[in-house]
Amino acid sequence: MERTSSSLHTDKIGAEQQMKLFPATRYMGSKSKLLQYIWDASSKYKFDSVIDLFSGSGVVSYMYKTHGKAVISNDYMAMGGVITKALVENDSTILPVEEAKELIKDNIDTDEFVYKTFKGIYYNDEDNHFIDVLRAHIALMDDEYKKAIAMQALIRTCVKKRPRGIFTYVGDRYNDGRKDLQKSFEDHFLEAVALINNAVFSNGRHCESYNVDSMNLNKKADLVYIDPPYYTPKSDNEYVRRYHFVEGLARDWKGVEIQEHTKTKKFKSYPTPFSTKDGAENAFDTIFKQYSDSILVVSYSSNSLPNMEDMINLLKKYKNNVEVIPVDYKYSFGTRNTVKRNNVQEYIFIGA
Ligand SMILES: C[S@@+](CC[C@H](N)C(=O)[O-])C[C@H]1O[C@@H](n2cnc3c(N)ncnc32)[C@H](O)[C@@H]1O
C-alpha cells in the first residue's frame, strides 16, 4: 500500500526494517552486502554525525541514517547527489503517484535531446521520446525533493531497462530476456516512484546531500566513512564511463562535452586522484589529515593499491589506534547466464 505521508521515524519500525525499504541497485562498488560489517565496525565508537565522502548508491548513508545519525553525503557524480537528496537529506516529501503520472504525459514540447543524440544506441525511439518527455516535465518542477525523487526514478528506470545496468556498450547484446527488460518504461517509472516514496523517512536529525569533489567538501563530523574507487593497475574503476548516460540525465548534460566520435556517446570521465597508485595514496593521506579529528572508517579491497600495510601506515600517521577487519567477499560479474565470481577480501580499516 502506498504511504501518503512520510513523517515516519525510525523508532517506529527499527533500523533493520527501515533499511529493507532502500531501493537497491547494482551500482559498481556498492556496499549493500557489507552494511552489517560497516555498522558493527562503526558502532564500537560513540558518534553522532557522519560524513559519507564517496556515497555512490547512497546505501551506506541511508544505513547510518536508519541508526539515527546526522548524515552528510557526498559524491562527485551528480547521480550520487540525486539519490541522497531524495532519501538522505529529504525526510518528509514524497512524489504522489498522481503527480508522477502527470510527468509521463506526452503533452509538453521536448528538446528531443535523447531522441536525437542516442538514437539506436541504448533504447528504441519510443523509449527515448519517453525519456525526453520526462526530462522536460522534471525540468519544470519547483520542489527540490520531488524533483530528486522523479529524477532518481528515471535513472532507476533507465538502469533497469539496460542489460547489466551499464552504458559501456551499444545495442542489445547482453539481453538475457529478464523481466526487467520486458517491462515498459512507464511501469518501471511509476514503480520506482512508489519504491522511493516508501523509503523516505525522518530520523529526527538534520541530514545533507552534496555533489562536489571529496577534497572540496569542507564539513566536519564525528565519523568519516571513506569508500573511494578501488585502484588496481588492471581493472577499470571509472564511474563516468559506466554510467555516463544516467549521469548525463542527472546533470542534463550541462558542463560536459559528449565525445562525438565514441559509439557510446560518452563524455570524459571527471578527474579523480583514484585513477593512479600514487594519486590514490596521496589522496588518502590528504583526506586522513583533513579529518584527523574524526573517527576514520575506510573500505578498500585486498587486490587494490595502496595495499593493506601501506594503508595501515598511512592511517597511523594520524591515528593511534588502527584496526583492520577483513571480510571475505565474492564479487560477481556478468549476466545471469555467465556469472563469474572473484574471491577477494574486502577490508574495513578503522582509525580512532
Ligand atoms: C566505491 S564507490 C562508493 C560506493 C558507495 N559506498 C556505495 O555503497 O554505493 C566510489 C564512489 O566515489 C566517487 N568518486 C570518485 N572520485 C571522487 C572524488 N574525487 N570525489 C568525490 N567522489 C568521487 C564515484 O563517483 C563513486 O560513486
Give me the pLDDT at residue 179, please. Answer: 87
Q: How far is CA 275 from CA 78, 193, 306, 347, in A?
A: 19, 35, 12, 19
d(CA 267, CA 244): 7
Query: Is ligand 1 within 6 A of the CB of residue 213?
Result: yes
Q: What is the whole-number distance in angstroms between the Cα of residue 98 and the centre of ligand 1?
A: 34
Q: What is the whole-number distance in angstroms between the Cα of residue 252 and the centre of ligand 1?
A: 20
What angle is formed at CA 79 by the lines to CA 75 and CA 83, rounded to 5 degrees? 85
Cell 574495513 locates to 348
Three cell numbers, residue 240: 563516468
Give me the pLDDT at residue 40, please. Answer: 96
Give me the pLDDT at residue 173, please. Answer: 79
Give me the pLDDT at residue 6, please. Answer: 44
Residue whose CA lies nearest to ligand 1 atom number 3: 56
Query: Is ligand 1 within 6 A of the CB of residue 194?
Result: no
Q: Which of 30, 54, 61, 242 to mutate to test the pocket of ligand 1 (most atoms within 8 A of CB)?
A: 54
Q: What is the whole-number distance in angstroms between the Cα of residue 109 and the centre of ligand 1?
A: 35
Exposure pattern of 88-121 as b/e (b: 16+ CB <10 Å)? bbbbebbbeeebbeebbeeeeebeebbbeebeeb
Query: Is ligand 1 within 6 A of the CB of residue 247?
Result: no
Q: What is the whole-number distance in angstroms between the Cα of residue 75 and the centre of ligand 1?
A: 6
Three cell numbers, residue 60: 551506506
Atom of ligand 1 nearest to the CA of 273: 19
Give me the pLDDT at residue 338, please. Answer: 58
Atom of ligand 1 nearest to the CA of 274: 16
Give me the pLDDT at residue 336, please. Answer: 54
Annotated domain spans of the chain? 10-298
Query: Is ligand 1 within 6 A of the CB of residue 240?
Result: no
Q: Check: CB of residue 298 under 8 Å from CB of residue 315.
A: yes
Give me the pLDDT at residue 57, please. Answer: 98
d(CA 277, CA 39): 28
Please give the chain's pLDDT, 352 residues, in tens: 344 344 444 456 799 999 999 998 889 999 999 999 999 999 999 999 999 999 999 999 999 999 999 999 999 999 999 999 999 999 999 999 999 999 999 999 999 999 999 999 999 999 999 999 999 999 999 999 999 999 999 999 999 999 999 999 998 778 888 888 899 999 999 999 999 999 999 999 999 999 999 999 999 999 999 999 999 988 788 999 999 999 999 999 999 999 999 999 999 999 999 999 999 999 999 999 999 999 999 999 998 999 999 999 999 999 999 999 999 876 665 555 555 666 789 999 999 9
Q: What is the whole-number distance in angstroms between the Cα of residue 54 and the centre of ligand 1?
A: 4
Atom of ligand 1 nearest to the CA of 31: 8
d(CA 37, CA 260): 43
d(CA 65, CA 25): 18
